[in-house]
Amino acid sequence: MCGRLQNQTAIVTGSSTGIGRAIAHRFAAEGADVVTNSRSEERANETAAEIEATGGNAVGVAADVTDYDAVRSLVEATVDSFGGVDIMVNNAGVTTVKPTEELTAEDWRRVIDVDLTGVFFGAQAAGEYMIEAETGGAILNISSIMGELGLHKRAPYCSAKGGVNNLTRTLAVEWAKHDIYVNALAPGFIKTEITDQTQEAADYTDEDIQKRTPLGEFGTLEEMAECALFLVSRNNYVTGEVLHADGGWSAYGWGYGDR
C-alpha cells in the first residue's frame, strides 16, 4: 500500500461487519489511524484488534448513532485518542422488510433513525469539529442504489437513503468554504446482511442479480473500500457526489434478461 491516508484519522461507524469493516481495514492499511465503531463495545474492539494485528493503528469506541450525545462523545474520544478527525464515514445502517401497509411506526422510525438521522448526527458532529479546528476534512455517507430506485417492501430504507443523498449534496455546498468534502457512496448488490434481506424482499436469487447486473456479478467489499478511499482523498475536485458502485445496475434500462 502507498499510504495515501498517512497522518490522518478516520472514524468509521458500523465498522464491525460488512462494508464498514472493509473500509476501516483499507484506511488503516493506507496509513490512517482508525476509530472503529459499533453499538457493542466488544464488536468495535474486535475490528480494532484485527487492524492492530495487521500492523495498523486503531481503537474501538461503542456508540449508538441514533443518540446525539453518544455521537458527539465518539468524535471527542477520537480527538482524545489521535488528536483530531480528518475523515468521517457514516456507514451504520439497518433495514426492515415488510409491505408498506403493514409497517408500524416503530418499523419506520428505526430505519429512519439509524440510516438518515444517524448519518446527520455523524456528519454534523464531525463537521463542527473540522470547522472549529479549521482543518478541513472529508465526510463520506454510505447510501445505496435504493436511494435513487424503488423496491417493494423497503419503503423506510429507500426513503432514508434518498434523504442521505440530498443531505450529502446540501452539506457539500454548505461546507465547501471550510474545505470539507462531502460525498456519498451508493453500493449496488454486495454480499452483506442487508443485501441478503433485499434479495429476500424482492425474491431475487443470486442468478437473478447476476443476470440483471451488466458486469454480471456481485460487487465485493474490497471494491467498496476502494471507492471509499477515492471519495475521501480530497485531491480529486469531487464533492457533493453520489457515486453509484453497482456494476451498471442503475444504468441498465432493459432491466432483466440475458446479458
Q: Which grid coordinates are listed for 109? A: 422510525
Give which of 144, 49, 99 is closest to 15, Cα–Cα: 49
How far apart are alpha carbons 152 and 145 in whole angstroms? 14
Active site residues: 157
Closest-CA residue to 217 (of 243, 249, 182): 249
Q: List the beta bridge partners of residue 190.
A: 219
**H-type alpha helices, the chain:** 18-29, 41-53, 68-82, 105-112, 118-133, 155-175, 193-202, 206-212, 221-231
Which amino acid is residue 2, in one-letter code? C
DSSP letter assigned to residue 111: H
Q: What residues have CB less than 8 Å from 12, skipping those under 6 apart? A: 20, 23, 24, 27, 34, 35, 36, 37, 89, 91
Q: Could you tell me if 198 and 189 are in contact, meaning their C-beta atoms sit under 8 angstroms apart?
A: yes
Those residues with Cβ within 8 angstroms of residue 224's Cβ, 6 or more apart along the chain or in another chain: 19, 22, 23, 185, 187, 190, 245
